[in-house]
Amino acid sequence: MRFVIALMRHETNTFSPIATPLRAFSRGSSTDGPLYGDDAVRACQGTNSAAAAFMDIAQRQGDEFVMPLMANAVPSGIVTAEAFESMAGTIVEAVRAGCDAVMLDLHGAMVAEGFPDAEGELLARIRAVAPQVPIAVALDFHANFSDALVGNATVIAGYCTYPHVDVYETGARAARTLMAALRGEAKPVLLWRTLPMLTHMLRQTPRTQPMKDIMDRAMAAERDGEVLNASVFGGFPLADIPHTGLAVVIVADGDRMDTGQRLLDELCDMAWERRADFVFPLEPMQTSVARARELAHWPVVLVDHGDNCGAGGPTDEMTVLGEVLRQGLDGVVAGPFWDPAAVAELVGAGVGQTVTLDVGGKTDMPALGLKGTPLRLTGRVQCITDGNYQVTGPMFTGMKLSLGRTVVLDVGGTLVVVCEKPQEPFDSGVFTHAGIDLSRRKYILIKSRQHFRAGFEPIAKEIVLVAGPGVCSSDYSQFPFRNLRRPIYPLEPHTTAKHA
Protein backbone atom coordinates (compact mmCIF):
# COMPACT_ATOMS: atom_id res chain seq x y z
CA MET A 1 0.00 0.00 0.00
CA ARG A 2 0.93 3.65 -0.34
CA PHE A 3 0.25 6.21 2.39
CA VAL A 4 0.40 9.97 2.57
CA ILE A 5 1.64 11.06 6.02
CA ALA A 6 1.70 14.71 7.03
CA LEU A 7 2.21 16.82 10.14
CA MET A 8 0.52 20.22 10.42
CA ARG A 9 0.17 21.54 13.97
CA HIS A 10 -0.80 24.86 15.46
CA GLU A 11 -2.86 25.86 18.51
CA THR A 12 -4.39 29.24 17.73
CA ASN A 13 -5.14 31.76 20.47
CA THR A 14 -7.48 34.14 18.67
CA PHE A 15 -6.74 36.84 21.28
CA SER A 16 -2.99 36.72 20.67
CA PRO A 17 -1.57 39.76 18.86
CA ILE A 18 1.10 37.67 17.11
CA ALA A 19 0.10 36.58 13.62
CA THR A 20 1.31 33.18 12.39
CA PRO A 21 2.88 33.26 8.90
CA LEU A 22 4.33 30.31 7.03
CA ARG A 23 7.85 30.95 8.32
CA ALA A 24 6.60 30.35 11.89
CA PHE A 25 5.96 26.67 11.11
CA SER A 26 9.57 25.78 11.83
CA ARG A 27 9.32 24.23 15.31
CA GLY A 28 11.81 21.40 15.30
CA SER A 29 13.92 23.04 12.61
CA SER A 30 16.65 25.68 12.61
CA THR A 31 15.32 27.03 9.29
CA ASP A 32 12.28 29.20 8.67
CA GLY A 33 9.07 27.53 7.59
CA PRO A 34 7.99 23.90 7.14
CA LEU A 35 10.07 20.94 6.06
CA TYR A 36 9.16 18.91 3.00
CA GLY A 37 9.72 15.39 1.66
CA ASP A 38 12.85 13.62 2.89
CA ASP A 39 13.72 16.52 5.21
CA ALA A 40 10.34 16.13 6.91
CA VAL A 41 10.86 12.37 7.28
CA ARG A 42 14.29 12.79 8.84
CA ALA A 43 13.03 15.42 11.29
CA CYS A 44 10.14 13.21 12.48
CA GLN A 45 11.78 9.82 12.67
CA GLY A 46 12.61 8.67 16.18
CA THR A 47 10.57 11.40 17.87
CA ASN A 48 7.58 11.26 20.19
CA SER A 49 5.17 12.32 17.44
CA ALA A 50 2.17 10.72 15.80
CA ALA A 51 3.85 11.09 12.43
CA ALA A 52 6.75 8.94 13.65
CA ALA A 53 4.28 6.23 14.68
CA PHE A 54 2.61 6.38 11.25
CA MET A 55 5.97 5.95 9.52
CA ASP A 56 7.05 3.10 11.77
CA ILE A 57 3.83 1.17 11.14
CA ALA A 58 4.08 1.62 7.37
CA GLN A 59 7.70 0.49 7.39
CA ARG A 60 6.96 -2.58 9.52
CA GLN A 61 4.27 -3.59 7.04
CA GLY A 62 6.62 -3.10 4.11
CA ASP A 63 4.41 -0.36 2.66
CA GLU A 64 5.37 2.86 0.91
CA PHE A 65 4.73 6.32 2.23
CA VAL A 66 5.39 9.91 1.29
CA MET A 67 5.59 12.80 3.74
CA PRO A 68 4.91 16.01 1.86
CA LEU A 69 4.93 18.29 4.91
CA MET A 70 6.13 18.77 8.47
CA ALA A 71 4.77 22.11 9.68
CA ASN A 72 4.77 22.82 13.41
CA ALA A 73 4.44 26.29 14.94
CA VAL A 74 4.55 27.52 18.52
CA PRO A 75 1.01 28.50 19.58
CA SER A 76 0.24 32.11 18.67
CA GLY A 77 -2.38 34.17 16.87
CA ILE A 78 -4.42 33.47 13.75
CA VAL A 79 -2.64 31.65 10.90
CA THR A 80 -2.36 33.75 7.77
CA ALA A 81 -4.37 32.73 4.72
CA GLU A 82 -1.17 32.45 2.72
CA ALA A 83 0.34 30.00 5.23
CA PHE A 84 -2.76 27.84 5.37
CA GLU A 85 -3.19 27.72 1.60
CA SER A 86 0.45 26.73 1.15
CA MET A 87 0.36 23.92 3.72
CA ALA A 88 -3.07 22.59 2.79
CA GLY A 89 -2.20 22.74 -0.90
CA THR A 90 0.97 20.72 -0.35
CA ILE A 91 -0.92 17.95 1.45
CA VAL A 92 -3.85 17.88 -0.98
CA GLU A 93 -1.57 17.63 -4.00
CA ALA A 94 0.21 14.65 -2.46
CA VAL A 95 -3.15 12.93 -1.97
CA ARG A 96 -4.23 13.84 -5.49
CA ALA A 97 -1.16 11.99 -6.80
CA GLY A 98 -2.68 8.78 -5.42
CA CYS A 99 -2.64 6.77 -2.21
CA ASP A 100 -4.47 4.02 -0.35
CA ALA A 101 -4.92 6.02 2.86
CA VAL A 102 -3.96 9.26 4.57
CA MET A 103 -2.52 9.59 8.10
CA LEU A 104 -2.45 13.09 9.55
CA ASP A 105 -0.68 14.40 12.64
CA LEU A 106 -2.76 17.53 13.38
CA HIS A 107 -3.54 19.70 16.37
CA GLY A 108 -7.27 20.33 16.05
CA ALA A 109 -7.31 23.94 17.27
CA MET A 110 -5.87 25.77 14.27
CA VAL A 111 -7.73 28.91 13.22
CA ALA A 112 -6.72 30.47 9.90
CA GLU A 113 -7.89 33.64 8.21
CA GLY A 114 -11.31 32.77 6.79
CA PHE A 115 -11.34 29.29 8.37
CA PRO A 116 -12.32 28.98 12.06
CA ASP A 117 -11.68 25.22 11.76
CA ALA A 118 -8.60 24.96 9.58
CA GLU A 119 -8.22 21.20 10.07
CA GLY A 120 -11.84 20.64 9.06
CA GLU A 121 -11.21 22.66 5.92
CA LEU A 122 -8.10 20.61 5.15
CA LEU A 123 -10.01 17.33 5.47
CA ALA A 124 -12.85 18.66 3.30
CA ARG A 125 -10.32 19.52 0.58
CA ILE A 126 -8.76 16.07 0.79
CA ARG A 127 -12.22 14.53 0.49
CA ALA A 128 -12.90 16.63 -2.60
CA VAL A 129 -9.96 15.04 -4.47
CA ALA A 130 -10.15 11.56 -2.86
CA PRO A 131 -13.75 10.86 -1.77
CA GLN A 132 -13.19 7.21 -0.83
CA VAL A 133 -9.71 7.30 0.67
CA PRO A 134 -9.65 6.49 4.42
CA ILE A 135 -8.23 9.26 6.63
CA ALA A 136 -6.82 8.64 10.10
CA VAL A 137 -6.19 11.69 12.27
CA ALA A 138 -4.21 12.02 15.51
CA LEU A 139 -5.24 15.13 17.46
CA ASP A 140 -4.05 17.13 20.45
CA PHE A 141 -5.98 16.90 23.72
CA HIS A 142 -6.90 20.57 23.16
CA ALA A 143 -8.68 20.06 19.85
CA ASN A 144 -12.00 21.78 19.14
CA PHE A 145 -14.51 19.99 16.89
CA SER A 146 -16.73 20.90 13.97
CA ASP A 147 -18.91 18.86 11.62
CA ALA A 148 -16.28 19.24 8.89
CA LEU A 149 -13.48 17.80 11.01
CA VAL A 150 -15.42 14.76 12.18
CA GLY A 151 -17.51 14.26 9.07
CA ASN A 152 -14.52 13.93 6.75
CA ALA A 153 -12.38 11.66 8.95
CA THR A 154 -12.43 7.86 9.05
CA VAL A 155 -10.60 7.49 12.37
CA ILE A 156 -9.82 10.04 15.11
CA ALA A 157 -7.68 9.47 18.20
CA GLY A 158 -6.60 12.11 20.73
CA TYR A 159 -3.84 12.42 23.29
CA CYS A 160 -4.80 10.94 26.65
CA THR A 161 -2.24 12.96 28.60
CA TYR A 162 -1.52 16.58 29.53
CA PRO A 163 1.46 17.19 29.50
CA HIS A 164 1.34 15.40 26.17
CA VAL A 165 3.69 12.45 26.62
CA ASP A 166 1.67 9.91 24.60
CA VAL A 167 1.82 11.56 21.18
CA TYR A 168 3.50 8.58 19.49
CA GLU A 169 1.03 6.19 21.13
CA THR A 170 -1.86 8.31 19.86
CA GLY A 171 -0.61 7.95 16.31
CA ALA A 172 -0.27 4.20 16.84
CA ARG A 173 -3.87 3.98 18.15
CA ALA A 174 -5.24 5.82 15.12
CA ALA A 175 -3.14 3.78 12.71
CA ARG A 176 -4.17 0.42 14.21
CA THR A 177 -7.83 1.17 13.61
CA LEU A 178 -7.11 2.42 10.10
CA MET A 179 -5.18 -0.76 9.25
CA ALA A 180 -7.98 -2.92 10.63
CA ALA A 181 -10.40 -1.07 8.37
CA LEU A 182 -8.14 -1.49 5.34
CA ARG A 183 -7.98 -5.24 6.05
CA GLY A 184 -11.76 -5.41 6.30
CA GLU A 185 -11.64 -6.34 10.00
CA ALA A 186 -13.48 -3.23 11.21
CA LYS A 187 -16.02 -0.70 9.96
CA PRO A 188 -15.22 2.53 11.82
CA VAL A 189 -18.11 4.86 12.60
CA LEU A 190 -17.51 8.20 14.35
CA LEU A 191 -19.80 9.28 17.20
CA TRP A 192 -19.15 12.61 18.88
CA ARG A 193 -20.48 15.43 20.99
CA THR A 194 -19.26 18.84 22.16
CA LEU A 195 -20.49 20.08 25.53
CA PRO A 196 -21.32 23.77 26.12
CA MET A 197 -18.57 24.28 28.68
CA LEU A 198 -15.25 26.11 28.69
CA THR A 199 -12.86 24.18 30.90
CA HIS A 200 -9.89 25.92 32.48
CA MET A 201 -6.61 24.53 31.18
CA LEU A 202 -5.23 24.36 34.72
CA ARG A 203 -8.07 21.98 35.61
CA GLN A 204 -8.04 19.80 32.49
CA THR A 205 -5.20 17.37 33.01
CA PRO A 206 -6.13 13.66 33.10
CA ARG A 207 -3.46 13.20 35.77
CA THR A 208 -5.91 14.46 38.41
CA GLN A 209 -9.61 14.93 38.99
CA PRO A 210 -12.02 16.00 37.63
CA MET A 211 -10.70 14.65 34.29
CA LYS A 212 -8.91 11.55 35.58
CA ASP A 213 -11.93 9.26 35.99
CA ILE A 214 -13.37 10.39 32.67
CA MET A 215 -10.19 9.70 30.73
CA ASP A 216 -9.54 6.45 32.61
CA ARG A 217 -12.99 5.20 31.59
CA ALA A 218 -12.37 6.12 27.94
CA MET A 219 -8.95 4.45 27.90
CA ALA A 220 -10.34 1.30 29.53
CA ALA A 221 -13.15 1.09 26.98
CA GLU A 222 -10.66 1.25 24.12
CA ARG A 223 -8.22 -1.15 25.77
CA ASP A 224 -10.96 -3.69 26.53
CA GLY A 225 -12.40 -3.61 23.03
CA GLU A 226 -15.76 -1.97 23.81
CA VAL A 227 -14.98 0.47 21.00
CA LEU A 228 -12.21 0.92 18.45
CA ASN A 229 -11.08 4.28 19.86
CA ALA A 230 -12.29 6.54 22.66
CA SER A 231 -10.97 10.06 23.15
CA VAL A 232 -11.86 12.89 25.50
CA PHE A 233 -10.73 16.38 24.54
CA GLY A 234 -10.43 19.19 27.07
CA GLY A 235 -10.71 21.66 24.20
CA PHE A 236 -8.80 24.90 23.69
CA PRO A 237 -10.83 27.62 25.44
CA LEU A 238 -8.84 30.61 24.12
CA ALA A 239 -10.26 30.23 20.62
CA ASP A 240 -13.23 32.51 19.99
CA ILE A 241 -14.93 30.23 17.47
CA PRO A 242 -18.33 28.49 17.35
CA HIS A 243 -17.12 24.97 18.14
CA THR A 244 -14.97 25.55 21.24
CA GLY A 245 -15.67 23.25 24.17
CA LEU A 246 -14.99 19.93 25.84
CA ALA A 247 -15.66 17.08 23.41
CA VAL A 248 -15.86 13.30 23.32
CA VAL A 249 -15.16 11.32 20.13
CA ILE A 250 -15.84 7.60 19.86
CA VAL A 251 -14.79 5.38 16.96
CA ALA A 252 -17.25 2.50 17.12
CA ASP A 253 -17.33 -0.61 14.99
CA GLY A 254 -20.31 -0.49 12.64
CA ASP A 255 -21.63 -3.70 14.22
CA ARG A 256 -21.48 -2.25 17.77
CA MET A 257 -22.76 1.28 17.44
CA ASP A 258 -25.11 0.91 20.40
CA THR A 259 -22.14 0.20 22.65
CA GLY A 260 -20.36 3.25 21.30
CA GLN A 261 -23.40 5.46 21.84
CA ARG A 262 -23.76 4.32 25.45
CA LEU A 263 -20.10 5.10 26.11
CA LEU A 264 -20.45 8.53 24.51
CA ASP A 265 -23.44 9.33 26.73
CA GLU A 266 -21.66 8.05 29.83
CA LEU A 267 -18.52 10.10 29.28
CA CYS A 268 -20.46 13.27 28.43
CA ASP A 269 -22.64 12.85 31.51
CA MET A 270 -19.55 12.47 33.72
CA ALA A 271 -18.00 15.65 32.32
CA TRP A 272 -21.17 17.72 32.53
CA GLU A 273 -21.88 16.70 36.11
CA ARG A 274 -18.37 17.86 37.07
CA ARG A 275 -18.48 21.15 35.14
CA ALA A 276 -17.97 23.29 38.25
CA ASP A 277 -14.81 21.33 39.07
CA PHE A 278 -13.25 22.40 35.76
CA VAL A 279 -13.12 26.04 36.94
CA PHE A 280 -9.74 27.18 38.29
CA PRO A 281 -9.80 29.49 41.34
CA LEU A 282 -7.41 32.43 40.94
CA GLU A 283 -4.98 33.70 43.58
CA PRO A 284 -3.54 37.25 43.36
CA MET A 285 -0.07 37.27 41.80
CA GLN A 286 1.52 39.10 44.72
CA THR A 287 0.14 36.53 47.18
CA SER A 288 1.54 33.62 45.16
CA VAL A 289 5.03 35.14 44.99
CA ALA A 290 4.97 35.92 48.71
CA ARG A 291 3.92 32.36 49.46
CA ALA A 292 6.82 31.03 47.37
CA ARG A 293 9.23 33.27 49.28
CA GLU A 294 8.31 31.52 52.54
CA LEU A 295 8.92 27.98 51.27
CA ALA A 296 11.98 26.21 52.63
CA HIS A 297 12.47 23.32 50.19
CA TRP A 298 14.12 24.11 46.86
CA PRO A 299 14.03 24.33 43.96
CA VAL A 300 10.62 25.98 43.84
CA VAL A 301 9.13 26.17 40.35
CA LEU A 302 7.14 29.38 39.84
CA VAL A 303 4.74 29.02 36.92
CA ASP A 304 3.51 32.23 35.26
CA HIS A 305 0.46 30.87 33.45
CA GLY A 306 -0.93 34.14 32.07
CA ASP A 307 1.73 34.60 29.38
CA ASN A 308 2.57 31.15 28.07
CA CYS A 309 3.56 30.77 24.43
CA GLY A 310 2.30 27.18 24.72
CA ALA A 311 -1.17 28.73 24.67
CA GLY A 312 -0.43 31.71 22.42
CA GLY A 313 1.21 34.24 24.73
CA PRO A 314 4.16 36.33 23.48
CA THR A 315 6.28 35.42 26.57
CA ASP A 316 7.58 38.96 26.92
CA GLU A 317 5.24 40.04 29.74
CA MET A 318 7.56 41.00 32.61
CA THR A 319 5.18 41.68 35.52
CA VAL A 320 5.84 38.44 37.41
CA LEU A 321 9.64 38.74 37.15
CA GLY A 322 9.33 42.33 38.34
CA GLU A 323 7.33 41.16 41.36
CA VAL A 324 9.85 38.39 42.11
CA LEU A 325 12.67 40.96 42.12
CA ARG A 326 10.61 43.42 44.17
CA GLN A 327 9.94 40.83 46.87
CA GLY A 328 13.63 39.93 47.00
CA LEU A 329 13.60 36.24 46.05
CA ASP A 330 17.20 35.13 45.53
CA GLY A 331 18.83 32.29 43.61
CA VAL A 332 16.36 32.70 40.76
CA VAL A 333 16.61 31.56 37.15
CA ALA A 334 13.88 33.02 34.95
CA GLY A 335 12.79 32.65 31.34
CA PRO A 336 13.10 32.14 28.55
CA PHE A 337 11.76 35.62 27.70
CA TRP A 338 11.20 36.44 24.03
CA ASP A 339 12.97 39.67 23.03
CA PRO A 340 15.07 39.58 19.83
CA ALA A 341 16.02 43.27 20.19
CA ALA A 342 17.39 42.72 23.69
CA VAL A 343 19.27 39.64 22.49
CA ALA A 344 20.91 41.67 19.72
CA GLU A 345 22.01 44.35 22.20
CA LEU A 346 23.38 41.79 24.66
CA VAL A 347 25.22 39.84 21.96
CA GLY A 348 26.69 43.11 20.73
CA ALA A 349 27.96 43.86 24.23
CA GLY A 350 29.55 40.42 24.60
CA VAL A 351 30.17 37.93 27.38
CA GLY A 352 31.43 39.49 30.61
CA GLN A 353 30.10 42.96 29.89
CA THR A 354 27.73 44.80 32.24
CA VAL A 355 24.67 46.17 30.45
CA THR A 356 21.62 48.20 31.42
CA LEU A 357 18.67 47.69 29.07
CA ASP A 358 14.91 47.23 28.80
CA VAL A 359 13.87 43.60 28.50
CA GLY A 360 10.48 42.39 27.25
CA GLY A 361 7.29 44.36 27.22
CA LYS A 362 7.52 44.96 23.47
CA THR A 363 4.09 43.45 22.73
CA ASP A 364 0.73 45.11 23.32
CA MET A 365 -2.29 42.85 23.79
CA PRO A 366 -5.19 44.99 22.57
CA ALA A 367 -7.80 42.23 22.84
CA LEU A 368 -7.45 42.46 26.62
CA GLY A 369 -6.51 46.14 26.78
CA LEU A 370 -2.95 45.39 27.96
CA LYS A 371 0.06 47.54 27.06
CA GLY A 372 3.53 46.07 26.92
CA THR A 373 5.76 47.36 29.73
CA PRO A 374 9.50 46.61 29.54
CA LEU A 375 11.52 45.80 32.66
CA ARG A 376 14.77 47.74 33.05
CA LEU A 377 17.57 45.41 34.14
CA THR A 378 21.26 45.86 34.85
CA GLY A 379 23.41 42.76 34.73
CA ARG A 380 26.46 40.95 33.41
CA VAL A 381 26.28 38.91 30.22
CA GLN A 382 27.12 35.44 31.51
CA CYS A 383 26.58 33.30 28.43
CA ILE A 384 25.59 33.48 24.75
CA THR A 385 24.37 30.36 22.90
CA ASP A 386 22.79 29.43 19.57
CA GLY A 387 19.71 28.25 21.50
CA ASN A 388 19.69 24.78 19.95
CA TYR A 389 18.89 21.74 22.08
CA GLN A 390 17.34 18.29 21.79
CA VAL A 391 14.45 17.28 24.03
CA THR A 392 15.43 14.61 26.53
CA GLY A 393 12.26 14.69 28.64
CA PRO A 394 9.09 12.66 28.06
CA MET A 395 7.21 15.26 25.96
CA PHE A 396 8.19 15.30 22.25
CA THR A 397 11.26 13.25 23.14
CA GLY A 398 14.06 13.50 20.61
CA MET A 399 12.73 16.60 18.87
CA LYS A 400 15.34 19.23 18.04
CA LEU A 401 14.25 22.71 19.11
CA SER A 402 15.76 26.15 18.85
CA LEU A 403 15.34 29.30 20.93
CA GLY A 404 17.40 31.22 18.39
CA ARG A 405 20.30 33.16 19.82
CA THR A 406 19.97 33.07 23.60
CA VAL A 407 21.63 35.14 26.31
CA VAL A 408 21.93 34.54 30.05
CA LEU A 409 22.02 37.84 31.94
CA ASP A 410 23.15 37.72 35.61
CA VAL A 411 21.14 40.36 37.47
CA GLY A 412 22.54 40.32 40.99
CA GLY A 413 22.42 36.54 41.24
CA THR A 414 19.17 36.18 39.33
CA LEU A 415 19.78 34.59 35.92
CA VAL A 416 17.47 35.97 33.23
CA VAL A 417 17.34 33.96 30.00
CA VAL A 418 16.41 36.00 26.89
CA CYS A 419 15.88 34.42 23.48
CA GLU A 420 15.02 35.19 19.84
CA LYS A 421 12.31 32.55 19.43
CA PRO A 422 9.50 31.85 21.91
CA GLN A 423 9.36 28.38 23.42
CA GLU A 424 7.33 26.93 26.28
CA PRO A 425 9.72 25.32 28.78
CA PHE A 426 8.38 21.77 28.84
CA ASP A 427 11.96 20.48 28.79
CA SER A 428 14.84 21.55 31.01
CA GLY A 429 16.99 21.99 27.90
CA VAL A 430 15.86 25.61 27.67
CA PHE A 431 18.20 26.22 30.63
CA THR A 432 20.69 23.34 30.68
CA HIS A 433 21.85 23.95 27.09
CA ALA A 434 23.28 27.24 28.43
CA GLY A 435 25.14 25.50 31.25
CA ILE A 436 22.65 26.38 34.00
CA ASP A 437 22.60 23.86 36.84
CA LEU A 438 18.97 23.86 37.99
CA SER A 439 19.78 21.92 41.15
CA ARG A 440 21.73 24.96 42.38
CA ARG A 441 18.81 27.35 41.86
CA LYS A 442 16.29 28.12 44.62
CA TYR A 443 13.58 29.38 42.27
CA ILE A 444 12.86 28.51 38.65
CA LEU A 445 10.46 31.05 37.08
CA ILE A 446 8.93 29.83 33.83
CA LYS A 447 5.92 30.59 31.63
CA SER A 448 3.72 27.52 31.24
CA ARG A 449 0.48 25.85 32.35
CA GLN A 450 0.81 22.07 32.54
CA HIS A 451 3.51 21.10 30.06
CA PHE A 452 6.28 22.23 32.41
CA ARG A 453 5.44 19.21 34.55
CA ALA A 454 7.01 16.91 31.93
CA GLY A 455 10.49 18.33 32.40
CA PHE A 456 10.41 20.23 35.70
CA GLU A 457 8.10 18.38 38.08
CA PRO A 458 10.71 15.63 38.69
CA ILE A 459 13.20 18.20 40.03
CA ALA A 460 10.76 20.51 41.83
CA LYS A 461 10.42 20.36 45.59
CA GLU A 462 7.50 22.81 45.42
CA ILE A 463 5.35 24.23 42.60
CA VAL A 464 3.59 27.60 42.84
CA LEU A 465 1.18 28.71 40.13
CA VAL A 466 1.29 32.48 39.52
CA ALA A 467 -1.54 34.31 37.74
CA GLY A 468 0.38 36.92 35.79
CA PRO A 469 -1.37 39.08 33.17
CA GLY A 470 -1.62 38.05 29.52
CA VAL A 471 -3.68 36.50 26.74
CA CYS A 472 -3.48 33.09 28.45
CA SER A 473 -5.22 34.28 31.61
CA SER A 474 -7.55 31.91 33.41
CA ASP A 475 -9.86 34.84 34.12
CA TYR A 476 -12.33 34.39 31.27
CA SER A 477 -14.14 37.61 32.23
CA GLN A 478 -11.23 39.51 30.63
CA PHE A 479 -11.84 38.05 27.16
CA PRO A 480 -14.25 39.69 24.67
CA PHE A 481 -15.77 36.44 23.37
CA ARG A 482 -18.09 37.10 20.42
CA ASN A 483 -18.27 33.86 18.41
CA LEU A 484 -18.76 31.11 20.98
CA ARG A 485 -21.97 29.13 20.93
CA ARG A 486 -24.04 30.55 23.76
CA PRO A 487 -25.04 29.88 26.44
CA ILE A 488 -21.84 28.27 27.64
CA TYR A 489 -20.61 27.39 31.12
CA PRO A 490 -19.11 29.10 33.14
CA LEU A 491 -19.68 32.37 31.25
CA GLU A 492 -23.39 31.69 31.77
CA PRO A 493 -23.39 29.79 35.09
CA HIS A 494 -26.99 28.68 34.70
CA THR A 495 -26.45 26.94 31.37
CA THR A 496 -28.69 23.88 31.43
CA ALA A 497 -28.30 22.36 27.98
CA LYS A 498 -26.29 19.19 28.57
CA HIS A 499 -25.41 18.47 24.97
CA ALA A 500 -24.59 20.69 22.02
Q: What is the pLDDT of residues 360-374, one digit of tens each?
A: 999 999 999 999 999
Where exactly are the structural domains of the chain?
2-278, 285-473
Residue 471 has pLDDT above 70, yes or no: yes
Spatial distance between the Cα atoms of 318 and 315, rounded to a whole number of angstroms: 8
Instruction: Please say whether the beta carbons of 389 and 405 come within 8 A.
Output: no
Helices and strands, number each (H, E), in the chain: 13, 18
Summarised one tens digit per residue, pLDDT across range 383-437 is 999 999 999 999 989 988 999 999 999 999 999 999 999 999 999 999 999 999 9
Residue 112, judged by CB atoms within 10 A of its CB (0-12, 13-18, 19+), counts as buried
Summarised one tens digit per residue, pLDDT across range 258-286 is 999 999 999 999 999 999 999 999 999 99
CA-wise closest residue to 397 among 23, 29, 113, 28: 28
Spatial distance between the Cα atoms of 3 and 5, rounded to a whole number of angstroms: 6
Side-chain half-sphere of 232: how many Cα atoms within 13 Å? 32
- C-alpha distances out from residue 265 to 222, 269, 403, 463, Å: 15, 6, 44, 36
Secondary structure class of 158 (helix, strand, coil): strand
pLDDT of residue 28: 61
Instruction: Please say whether the beta carbons of 419 and 403 come within 8 A.
Output: yes
Summarised one tens digit per residue, pLDDT across range 175-205 is 999 999 999 999 999 999 999 999 999 999 9
Supply the CATH classification number for the domain 2-278.
3.40.50.2300
- Please enumerate in sequence order all residues whose Cβ is within 8 A of that of 494, keeping only pairs 6 or more positions apart, or say none: 487
* For the chain, percent of residues with pLDDT exceeding 70: 99
pLDDT of residue 30: 63
CA-wise closest residue to 2 among 109, 131, 103, 107: 103
Compute the radius of gyration of the chain from its Cα atoms. Answer: 22
Spatial distance between the Cα atoms of 157 and 135, rounded to a whole number of angstroms: 12
Summarised one tens digit per residue, pLDDT across range 88-102 is 999 999 999 999 999
